[in-house]
Structure 1
Amino acid sequence: MPTFLSDGLTLAYVDEGHGEPILLIHGFASNRDVNWRYPGWIDTLTKAGRRVIAIDNRGHGESEKPHEPLRYRVAAMAHDAFSLIRHLGLGRVDVMGYSMGARISAFLALEHPEVVRSVVLAGLGMGLVDGTGPWEPIVAALEAPSAADIRHKTGLMFRRFAEQTGGDLAALAACMRASRETMPADRVMRITAPALVAVGTRDVIAGSAQGLADLLPNGRALDIPDRDHMLAVGDKAFKAGVLAFLDARP
């Protein structure tokens, strides 16, 4: 597994296929395989003639997992993505993130517009601006002695997902404490790259896709029909919409 250094941490990634590069940034408690390989994204994009780079965010997958919350600021994780682009000697890339990965992608597009050709913000709408949550029950669930001790429905869902993906619960709790930073509307309006905001119509976590797209100077919304936050990732309509967006962008 190839790795690179960012902010003193060793981070893992995959780099597959040929063509115009796209960087994939996964969501909270997931990893590059669970978010992108198993739902067929890497296969779909490489068959479409693209070079696919998928990072394991700090605290996840095969990347290093610090337990200090301050190591998980969104700006720090966006810098990891920027460092990977530079590590690979790339100029501008398309970027797609899901949920927490979409938040990281938005910060990357804002702080480093010179490397972002276009951005897909998936599983995150107006939650980027207004916040989503509450997240305290999820932190409590991750820190609970066992899943049997958890009564909060959403907290239990995240705890089970973290266990299924083999996550480091202490690192994930630290990440959840620090990675929910919002982006004020006036800063969102400074993201000028072509942007697609894709959210499931049954997603009660992400917030409005259209609301966020309306703030983005070159944004548009994609509704993923009849999908919630967990089931939208591998949806065929989502994939078709992203491929059409990538083909149409300048």
Structure 2
Amino acid sequence: METFDSDGVRIAYHRHGAGRPIILVHGFASNGRVNWLDTGWVDTLCEAGWGPISIDNRGHGESEKLYDPALYPARTMAGDVARLIVHLGLVADGEGVPVMGYSMGARICAFLCMDHPELVRAAIFGGLGINMIRGIGGSEAIVQALLAPDLDHVRDRTGRQFRIFAEHTRSDLKALAACMQSSRDPIRAEDLSGIRVPVLVAVGERDEVGGSAEELAALLPRGTALVIPGRDHMRATGDALFKKGVIEFLSELPT
């Protein structure tokens, strides 16, 4: 694990292998290890010649914990990823690096593509389809679940799922609640039309959280949809067909 200073916030990241760099951005209440190492993504990418670099988003994993919701907009978190890319000197000859995010990480990657296009060569939006622009409800129930004294006090089904997952990842519950309470910078269809790099949108067939991969991909000038058969939001993360589709997508990028 290594760290760097991102505009005054300590951000942790992990480098794996010695291949071509690709940045991995995890989802809410997860971290680089749980989202990418434990699911086999790191091994899969290394075997295909890539050198994955996973970031722990602010408030998550080994990065600094913050308790002010104003410090967690996705656009701000995209700035952390941009600073990591610059910190590591990954942009050579004006060509950016591929980035892959899952769920909240996909949203962060979308802002990275929009705000820092010079840093991005291609993007994979995992676990977030058309709901990237339609929005995902239920945030208040998740906040209340994270702040409850214990799981016995949580009745909301979605809230319980997130509380169980957050405890599994040994997350700081108050930091996660602040992250969930943060204002949501809207993403509009016209915003996505400005993303000019190739984008793979990969969402589980049964993923009600992420919504349709095809609908989101249709809004992207160079978007491609991958529907992961039989998978919901939580179970698509390490799916073999998801990995196969990503490796094929990356292999088609110009060398």
User: What's the TM-score once normalised by structure 2's chain length?
Assistant: 0.96
- 5+ long unaligned stretches in structure 1: none
**Structure 1 moving runs of 4+ over 2 Å:** 179-182
The root-mean-square deviation of aligned C-alpha atoms, in Å, is 0.9
Partner of 2:177: 173
Residue identity in the other structure for 1:194:
P
For each residue in 1:123-148, what CA deviation from the matched residue of structure 2 results, as whole angstroms up to 9, or x when unmatched? 00011101012211001111111110
Partner of 1:48: 48
Does the 8 Å contact 2:75/2:185 carry over to 1? no
Partner of 1:146: 150
SS in 2 for 1:217: coil
The aligned length equals 250
For residue 237 of structure 1, report the CA deviation from its aligned partner: 0.2
For residue 179 of structure 1, report the CA deviation from its aligned partner: 6.0
**Percent of aligned pairs with the same amino acid:** 56
For each residue in 1:102-142, what CA deviation from the matched residue of structure 2 results, as whole angstroms up to 9, or x when unmatched? 00000001111101000000000011101012211001111
Superposed, which structure 2 residues align to 1:125-136 within 5 Å? Answer: 125-136=129-140
Residue identity in the other structure for 2:134:
D
Residue identity in the other structure for 2:135:
G
Residue identity in the other structure for 2:25:
I
Distance 2:203 2:186 in 1: 17
For residue 182 of structure 1, report the CA deviation from its aligned partner: 2.9
Partner of 2:34: 34
SS in 2 for 1:223: strand
SS in 2 for 1:108: helix
For residue 51 of structure 1, report the CA deviation from its aligned partner: 1.2
Partner of 1:25: 25
- 5+ long unaligned stretches in structure 2: none
For each residue in 1:184-220, what CA deviation from the matched residue of structure 2 results, as whole angstroms up to 9, or x when unmatched? 1110111111000000001110011111100000001
Residue identity in the other structure for 1:56:
D
Partner of 2:15: 15
Distance 2:116 2:150 in 1: 41
Distance 1:103 1:179 in 2: 13
SS in 1 for 2:66: coil
Residue identity in the other structure for 2:14:
V
